[in-house]
Amino acid sequence: APAILWFRQDLRLADNPALAAAAASGRAVIPLYVLDETARPLGGASRWWLERSLAALDADLRARGSRLVFRRGDPRLQIGELVATTGAEAVFWNRLYDGHSVARDSELKSDLKADGVEAISCNGGLLVEPWTVKTGAGDPYRVFTPYWRAAQSKIEPLPALDAETQISAPNHWPDSDNLSDWKLYERRPDWAKGFNDWTPGEAGARAALARFLDEPAATYAEDRDRPDRVGTSRLSPHLHFGEIGPRQVWRALRGRDLPAGQADKFLAEIGWREFNHHLLFHWPDLPIRNFKSEFDRFEWRDDEPGFRAWARGLTGYPIVDAGMRELWATGWMHNRVRMIVASFLIKDLMIDWRRGEAWFWDTLVDADIAQNAGNWQWVAGSGADASPWFRIFNPVTQGQKFDPDGDYVRKWIPELAGLSSKTVHAPWIASDSELQSAGVRLGETYPRPVVDHAEARERALDAYVPVRNG
């Protein structure tokens, strides 16, 4: 009797513990992907990525004489049906840590056990699983630094799992949908046409890691905050979909002779990824509820025009607008700029962080429940170990500091390209003659600021008083 190998956010063949365990069971393997229609609907950019990643995985499986079975609906029902029709005796998967998946997987496990079917789950997604790291008092951590210190001591230097593991095909393939029938993303209008720099799938993930190790890794600590440089790995969507696992990244970094501190800095970011999964596991409401409940008293503003200006990159603050346009065009935004645009939405516009979270969810190719919620709450100040509310980014000085020549802004806002390095971050301070020779007419070719940052800052600090005073 065959075994089912249920792929979720582990769309790779190498270093995949569930796949290795299924192959080692000696059974024929039915690789399965279920489009989960009971979960939070995927955003548009995620759907674009998923379609390509699944196609790549199917092709890789076919190259080994296997294939991917596509189903959609409620995964519990789909797997139940597949077990009944194939006589499968075991189901293998790698674990997920969000509330919806945890509850569903444990129900599925009991369904399967009740039917005498083995259910084997593995860790393919994290260096250290959320329940392994506890404070001295036995509680989950709420602060990153002690969390990461404790977590690193638990990382087991497991050997790489063979990338060439052979899995044998069943005698009969069960019914499968056609991936293309799922129409995961709308082709017209093709808003994803600027996504061409991405290569979803395991080979693309490996190439991204190799590219990073080749160059940016050696100066990561200095360049990671510079949106005008390729200073980071751009591994986030690959990690989200599990086209590469954090253990592979860890081994690759540790295996390199990088200048002092560079690998540690990078691995600490992988640590933040782990920490957000840890938070989400222990506080499943993280995406919808303030981690710090005193923020429930905060009075968010209703500001549709403000939200629209933010989403479309028309706030009149160039670094904010550049980031939002990069996001729309590529499905990704540099981390420094994500912090700036999030601070702007939350503090300058005083719009609820959950609206920003939802926009990112729809537009990011790396949209991830844990990372998105954890980071939005971090910027809002409502999260665990968050940046304090009064740390309000000044979009002009942030731009001048992290995009000092203005190259990033010029790339995404070509209508400002003729301005100097200084005024390109604050066009309203440019002289009339500079504006004229650059062809900029404020309010016409580029918007005037939707709020005055200094006034907005005071307003945000005042609004915080009831939160602080309880």
Annotated binding site: 220, 232-236, 266, 366-368
Q: CA nearest 8: which of 369, 283, 333?
A: 369
Contact between 327 and ligand FAD by CB under 6 A: the answer reads no
Annotated binding site for FAD: 220, 232-236, 266, 366-368
Contact between 148 and ligand FAD by CB under 6 A: the answer reads no
The piece of 106-114, 312-320, 375-383, 388-396 that touches ligand FAD (CB under 6 A) is 375-383
Options 48, 93, 198, 376, the catalytic residue: 376
* Nearest to ligand FAD of 270, 456 (CB atom): 270
CB-CB neighbours of 216 under 10 Å: 19
Nearest-angstrom CA–CA distance, 343 and 215: 31
**What is the DSSP annotation of 53-77?**
HHHHHHHHHHTTT---EEEEE-HHH
Give Cα 31 distance to the centre of its chain. Answer: 25
Q: Is-catalytic flag, 378?
A: no
Options 191, 300, 394, 415, the catalytic residue: 300
CA angle 346/352/357 to nearest 5° reads 85
CB of 131 to ligand FAD, least distance (A): 20
Q: Is-catalytic flag, 335?
A: yes
Window 187-226: residues binding ligand FAD (CB under 6 A): 224
* Nearest to ligand FAD of 70, 344 (CB atom): 344
Q: Is-catalytic flag, 304?
A: no
Options 118, 123, 335, 434, the catalytic residue: 335
Q: Which helix (H) or strand (E) holds 34?
A: strand 29-36
Contact between 291 and ligand FAD by CB under 6 A: the answer reads no
* Nearest to ligand FAD of 66, 290 (CB atom): 290
CB of 368 to ligand FAD, least distance (A): 4
Q: What is the dihedral of CA 155, 159, 163, 164, to 10 degrees?
A: -150
* All residues at 6 or more sequence positions from 189 whose CB lies less than 8 Å from its CB, including other chains: none
Beta pairing class for 90-94 and 69-73: unpaired
Nearest-angstrom CA–CA distance, 354 and 390: 19
Contact between 375 and ligand FAD by CB under 6 A: the answer reads yes
Contact between 342 and ligand FAD by CB under 6 A: the answer reads yes
Among 13, 50, 339, 345, binds ligand FAD (CB under 6 A): 339
Window 232-271: residues binding ligand FAD (CB under 6 A): 232-236, 239-240, 269-270
Q: Is-catalytic flag, 361?
A: no
The piece of 187-195, 364-372, 390-398, 434-442 that touches ligand FAD (CB under 6 A) is 364-372
Window 377-436: residues binding ligand FAD (CB under 6 A): 379
Q: Is the peptide bond before 200 cis (omega within 30 degrees of 0)?
A: no
Give Cα 88 distance to the centre of its chain. Answer: 34
Report CA Rg, the chain: 24
* All residues at 6 or more sequence positions from 257 whose CB lies less than 8 Å from its CB, including other chains: none
CB-CB neighbours of 391 under 10 Å: 11
| DSSP secondary structure code for residue 348 in this structure | I
Q: Catalytic residue positions?
A: 269, 272, 300, 335, 353, 376
Could you list the residues that contact ligand FAD (CB under 6 A)?
Answer: 224, 232-236, 239-240, 269-270, 272-273, 276, 335, 338-339, 342, 360, 364, 366-368, 371-372, 375-376, 379
